[in-house]
Amino acid sequence: MKNTIKRIGVMTSGGDSPGMNAAIRAVARSCAYYNIQCVGFYRGFQGMIEGDFVEMDARSVRNIISRGGTILKSARSKEFLTPEGRQKAADSLKRAEVDAMILIGGDGTFRGGQIFSKEHNIPVIGVPGTIDNDIFGTHYTIGYDTALNTVVEAIDKIRDTASSHNRLFFVEVMGRDAGFIALNSGVGAGAEEILIPEEDLGLERLLCSLERSRNSGKTSSIVVVSEGDKIGKNVFELAEYVTKNLPDYDSKVTVLGHIQRGGSPSCFDRVLASRLCVKAVELLLDGQKDLMVGFVNNQIESCTLESALKEKHAINLELLRISDILST
């Protein structure tokens, strides 16, 4: 390895996701293994600007692998969007004698890191940490698996009430403009309908599907709605529209909200975070920069930050067909 790196900084940015602490732990302990120093920056880019950091070693990250959230905190920084803010961050890294950065977050984090690296020639490696799973260059992002399991568990409980009262429940899940959580949790929880932004099925099709379910003898139904779905302005208006057109249904709405981002990470997310961050440290020690590490076909691969930002992670629409078959 071309080990000219002596101190690596690590930060978490954007929305928190289960497994970020496992990722921080993997960076700190990989640095310790390779006999280099690790510096953790609090509150993402804002902490870089302010020089708000802590020295981290193998023992400082003990017992965090099972914790949700991020011990380094997360925040959005308007100041970092300006050249002056990024100059302050570069000066802060210089004072802290940090040679390279590992950024754990989503596309906003990577976009900031890419600009920062080009302006100030500081090596950067991105690690995808977001429950939305909407990052190109990886099949899974850190936190996605845990969020899926949280959603499925919640829907299973909602179905108990739906069955007990013969109700139709609209369950809104997170995902921004991507339907990965909605599609996979909907299939996993046996939802009657799944609404995602990638496929506008239309209001009439939804009504026909629910009416068909009612005529087949179903007394309760679950519709999983991605927060970025375009079929209705919001989930409450969608439920109101269905109730107006199908008055036999007793419709209710549940918005799962930020419960999906919390909780102890699944084993899959802990292992994924560990594998990605060991690779991230090793790439920096090998003289690499401006890359994102990802999980592709059970292997840890890397792609440029530019491609991670420009390309789109395609959703598997075949699952919609499977859902239609299984909801009969």
Could you tell me the two tokens for 122? 């500081």
How many residues belong to the chain?
328
Integer Cα distance of 70 and 72 in angstroms: 5
Catalytic residue among 107, 132, 134, 269: 132
Angle between helices 267-285 and 20-33 (to 10 degrees): 40
Question: CB 322: neighbour CB atoms within 10 A?
Answer: 12
**Strand boundaries in 50-154, DSSP class E:** 53-56, 100-105, 124-128
Q: Which residues contact 11 (CB under 8 A, 6 or more apart)?
A: 40, 41, 42, 44, 45, 47, 48, 72, 101, 102, 103, 104
Asked about 177 being catalytic, the answer comes back as no
Could you tell me the two tokens for 62? 């003990």
Question: CB 274: neighbour CB atoms within 10 A?
Answer: 20
- The partner residues of 101 in beta bridges, in order of sequence, read 9, 124
Q: Which residues contact 225 (CB under 8 A, 6 or more apart)?
A: 170, 171, 172, 173, 182, 195, 235, 238
Question: CB 326: neighbour CB atoms within 10 A?
Answer: 11
Integer Cα distance of 163 and 58 in angstroms: 50
Catalytic center residues:
132
